[in-house]
Amino acid sequence: MTERTPPTRLLKNFRLVDGSAAEPRDGLQVLIEGDRIVQVAETAIEAPHAEVIDLGGRTLMPGLIDCHVHVIATTADLGANALLPDALVAARATPILKGMLERGFTTVRDVGGADRAIQQAVAEGYFVGPRLVICGKALSQTGGHNDYRGFFDERDDQYQTRRLGSMGRICDGVEAVRRAVRQEIKGGAQFIKVMANGGVSSPSDPIDFLSFSRAELETIVEEASNAQTYVSAHLYTDEAIRRAVEAGVRSLEHCNLITAETARFAAERGAMACPTLVTYERLKLEGAEYGLKPESVAKIDDVRLAGLESLVTMREAGLEMAYGTDLLGEMHPHQSDEFVIRAQVLPPHEVIRSATATAAKLLRMEGEVGCIAPGAYADLIVVDGNPLEDMRLLTGQGDHLALIMQGGRVIKERLSR
């Protein structure tokens, strides 16, 4: 399925917006060879054999990065999703993946569910979708955020470990979590995800539950560090966030209820946050309709109402924020709405940076994705208009994108219209 090597291309006549500055940058040219950007210059690039692409004064941006997705979440009823046959989950994941790429997300980090097989199917071109960074199954304790069994379901707790439709797996105790991390790493996980706090979509864990003991969290971090990677944790409450940072967790998901003091502490320790406000807005509006259980609907406002304030708190504390969405099932088409939500309280270029350079930093892929620079993958989008002035240009289903390129391959092109 691998396509032939893309031709050499020269991009000109555009304004660059990459989130590094409050204003677009004019007068650049970009040379692409194969899957990489090879030259970015302020003067005309000599490339007589290159195919010249005139972007017509539009905005060139690095391909977007979403650091918190679940591509196997084909419905908001995650317990039901975990029981679906793998083939059906994979089939239903394909339009989810394609939709993300069409919205301009050329790289996404899956924080629970997607496995090496899905990742490879995308890399080999069988599935059309973003470059996938995976953690395999998220780790959850019994009764934690990935335990969907509820009060009266006594099934063996390992039933979901090997199901594609399950976001996570259950493990309890220091040696069990150690083994679970090693199994996920062996299976191709590039980082480790842990559910360290109660959650909305799970039946038996109120938001303020602390999940896993300190010793378990430290063991998970130790094993991830041994494998030269990091831990991402599902977190809402200040107490849970502080405890996770103390244990060495680097990627702090959600963070809706964080205080200024803990945000400063997290920043000092080199942690980064990944808020996902759009999911609570959509769950509030559509969750019940799309399968979210009533006990989960009742928990949404516990985290939703603090969302915008948490962004301001984290910015003032110097805690870097990457772009995340965490959408489930039919709600995936709202993936780009997070830009507009954040721009209510944050400067537009910082919101864009969350999905470019800051996201790349969180993924430890700086210089490879999230930038227009020599050596980076030729992952880019071209926008009709300036998203720094109107963030809605990034929303919808890629409606305002005139070009999407991933690894030098043209995914979409309507420059001539």
The Cα 404–Cα 36 span in angstroms is 14
Whole-angstrom Cα distance, residue 158 to residue 175? 16
Task: Tell me whether residue 184 or residue 326 sits nearer to Zn ion (CB atom).
Answer: 326
Give me the least distance between CB of 410 and Zn ion, in Å please.
31
- Chain positions 326 to 385 lying near Zn ion, rule: CB under 5 A, are 326
Minimum CB distance to Zn ion, residue 39 (Å): 38
By the rule CB under 5 A, 77 interacts with Zn ion: no
Scored b (16 or more CB within 10 A) or e, 1-31 reads eeeeebebbbbbbbbbbbbeeeebeeebbbb
310-329 positions binding Zn ion, by CB under 5 A: 326
Stated length of the chain: 417
**Token pair in block for residue 267:** 């920043």
How many residues touch Zn ion under the rule CB under 5 A: the total is 1
Of 84 and 328, nearer to Zn ion (C-beta) is 328
DSSP 3-state of 363: coil
Residue 131 Cβ vs Zn ion, minimum distance, rounded to whole Å:
19
Instruction: Pick the closer one to Zn ion by CB: 302 or 326.
Output: 326
Query: Residue 223 or 326: which CB sits closer to Zn ion?
Result: 326
DSSP state of 197: B
Chain centroid, CA 70 distance in Å: 8
* Residue 104 vs 168, nearer CB to Zn ion: 168
Interface with Zn ion in residues 174-213 (CB under 5 A): none
Count Cα neighbours of 109 within 13 Å in the Cβ-side half-sphere. 33
Position with the least CB separation from Zn ion = 326
Cα–Cα distance between 406 and 128 in angstroms, integer? 11
Nearest distance, CB of residue 68 and Zn ion, angstroms: 6
Q: Report which DSSP code applies to 213.
A: -
Angle among Cα 114, 332, 360 to the nearest 5 degrees reads: 60
**How far is it, in rounded angstroms, from Cα 292 to Cα 284?**
10
One-letter amino acid for residue 121 of the chain: A
The CB-of-214 to Zn ion minimum distance in angstroms stands at 23
- The CB-of-251 to Zn ion minimum distance in angstroms stands at 12
Could you tell me which of 139, 174, 185 has the C-alpha nearest to residue 160? 139
Residue written as tokens 């691998």?
A: 2
Least distance from Zn ion to the Cβ atom of residue 111, Å: 5
**x/- binding map, residues 275-314, to Zn ion, per CB under 5 A?**
----------------------------------------
> Which amino acid does the sequence have at 114?
A
Q: How far is the CB of 164 from Zn ion (least distance, A)?
A: 16
Phi first, then psi, for residue 137 (nearest 5°) are: -85, 135
Task: Using the minimum distance from each CB to Zn ion, give the nearer residue, 82 or 382.
Answer: 82
Within 1-60, which residues bind Zn ion (CB under 5 A)?
none
The encoded tokens of residue 170 equal: 């259950």
Q: Least distance in Å: CB of 126 to Zn ion?
A: 25
Nearer to Zn ion, 59 or 74 (CB): 74
**Is the CB of 77 or the CB of 379 nearer to Zn ion?**
77
Query: Taking CB under 5 A as the rule, which mask of x and - marks residues 241-270 in contact with Zn ion?
Result: ------------------------------
Residue with Cβ nearer Zn ion (230 or 377): 230
Where along the sequence are the contacts to Zn ion (CB under 5 A)?
326
